[in-house]
Amino acid sequence: MSEFRTVARLEAVPSGTMLQVELDGEKIVLAHVGDRVFALHDECTHEEFALSSGELVGGQVTCALHGARFDLETGAPRALPAVKPVRTYEARIEGEDIQVKVG
């Protein structure tokens, strides 16, 4: 059964920033853009490198290693060298908490 679980406080991820969290042993990057929070598997699909160390620009995250870019909402690759999407999770802001749906 899928459920939302709190992974961080909203104050820990100011708008325009990212934060790596761990949930059930999996590393997830939270990206706060405007009034929305996105959650993606924190690993570039081109090479094993943390997306959370990259750059957040608008609705995309750029991997710091080789410049691959991914859409925050869909995980779709937007720039080479990545050709495979990154896994995304449903995320929401509930009061002052950031929650991610797991399961």
In words, the CATH class of domain 3-102 is mainly beta
Question: Taking Cα atoms as reference points, which of 80, 79, 78, 53 lies closest to residue 64?
Answer: 53
Q: What is the pLDDT of residue 58?
A: 84
pLDDT, averaged per 10 consecutive residues of the chain (103 residues), comes to: 91 97 95 97 96 95 97 98 97 97 80
Distance CA 46, CA 65 (A): 10
The residues spanned by each domain of the chain are 3-102
Q: Output the pLDDT for position 2.
A: 77
Residue 1 has what pLDDT? 60
Sequence-separated (6 or more) residues with CB below 8 Å from residue 73:
38, 59, 88
